Amino acid sequence: MRVAVTGTPGTGKTTATDILASRLATDDSLPDLEVIHLNAVLDEEGLYTEVDADRGSKIADLEALADWLDGRDDAVIDSHLAHHFDADRVAVLRCAPEMLEERLLERGETEAKAAENAESEALDVVLSEAVETHGLESIYEIDTTDRDPEAVADALEAVVAGDREPSAGDVDFMGYLT
């Protein structure tokens, strides 16, 4: 089984999947899945086509990443790009745009990049892409706004274990734009 954990940068994917990884390694009742932090793979393997100087970000080579993932089927894939790849279940982490922007600024992103990501979150960009690629029946939307990382990991664990029903469209941040 392959589970994609995706969402706008700053929603808590890596923190929650790190916690999930330790649970997967120690809890025999959970599936034996490797957690792959795809952004680290992109950096370590050089799987990008160029660097966008204006945004200060790498442009991922999605074909090269798909080739790298080929054969790694028993995995949890963590990345804001994870929904672009084959997956049985897709957890889309969401966060209130104001909090998202604050988190991104705290970790050193530029104001422009933090604002762009907050707007993307309000517009459901990642969720819409995930639904378009995988269908509603495979999407598990998780609002991380008022949850600590352990609670987000609990929600991810429920997705992995099959103890949570698919959901999409329950989180609404459109008010941020008005």
Angstrom distances, CA of residue 132 to CA of 26, 84, 105: 35, 10, 30
165-169: Cβ within 8 A, 24+ apart: 166/89, 166/136, 166/137, 166/138, 166/139, 166/140, 167/139, 167/140, 167/141, 168/92, 168/127, 168/130, 168/131, 168/136, 168/139, 168/140, 168/141, 169/127, 169/141
71 annotated binding-site participant:
no
107 annotated binding-site participant:
yes
Q: Is residue 178 part of a domain?
A: no
13 annotated binding-site participant:
yes
112-162 pLDDT, tens digit each: 999 999 999 999 999 999 999 999 999 999 999 999 999 999 999 999 999
Count of domains for the chain = 1
Judge whether 141 and 169 are in contact, CB under 8 Å: yes
Q: Is residue 176 part of a domain?
A: no
Q: Is 48 helix (H, G, I), strand (E, B) or coil?
A: strand
> The pTM is what?
0.95
pLDDT at 84: 97
Segments forming the whole domain that contains residue 98: 2-167
Residue 149 CB contacts under 8 Å (≥ 6 apart), including other chains: 12, 15, 16, 19
In the structure, what pLDDT confidence band is assigned to residue 66 with cuts at 50, 70 and 90? very high
Q: Is residue 130 part of a domain?
A: yes
Q: Is residue 175 part of a domain?
A: no
144 annotated binding-site participant:
no
Domain containing residue 93: CATH number: 3.40.50.300
14 annotated binding-site participant:
yes
Give mean pLDDT, residues 63-87. 97
